[in-house]
Amino acid sequence: MNYFYHYTTGEKLPLILEAGYLKPSAAGGSPGEQPLLWLSRARDYEPTALKLLQLPGGRARLLSQVEQREVVGNVRFRLKADTVDLLPWRDACRAAGICRRERQHMERAGKAEGAKHTNWFAVAKTMPVTMFDIEVETVHGWEAMDEVIELEGAV
């Protein structure tokens, strides 16, 4: 079965669960950009979901997937491919009002991080978390959030 994933951090998970939905956001950050809910076909991890670590002196560097898992946690919301009509990358950019130059810049930046823009999809609506399976990355790989909670409770 094919899936799409919305990757986020463990520190954001409580806020998402409290809200009860995943909401659209602006990918390019351009003024007037239409927010979209972004998903990826990348099964292991979406490199563009990695966060920056602030270093002393005002510098910053991108965390690795392992570092991010250890520092803030990695979480993904898994959606069956046939659940909702998703816009492929270029169509999503048009819908969001992302100009060609910005789209190409985002593609180059994503490629530099190891991402493939052909994995990027979006939808222009808020989606309830109940439509997704929630998974947490552990040292053993991606595991259902319920199983991880049960294991932690048994310790």
Note the pLDDT tens digit of each residue in 66-125. 999 998 999 999 999 988 999 999 999 999 999 999 999 999 999 999 999 999 999 999
Containing structural domain, residue 18 = 3-154
User: How many domains does one find in the chain?
Assistant: 1
Query: How large is the average pLDDT for residues 50-62?
Result: 86
* DSSP state at residue 22: E
Q: How far apart are CA 93 and CA 7, in angstroms?
A: 19
Average pLDDT over residues 49-64: 86
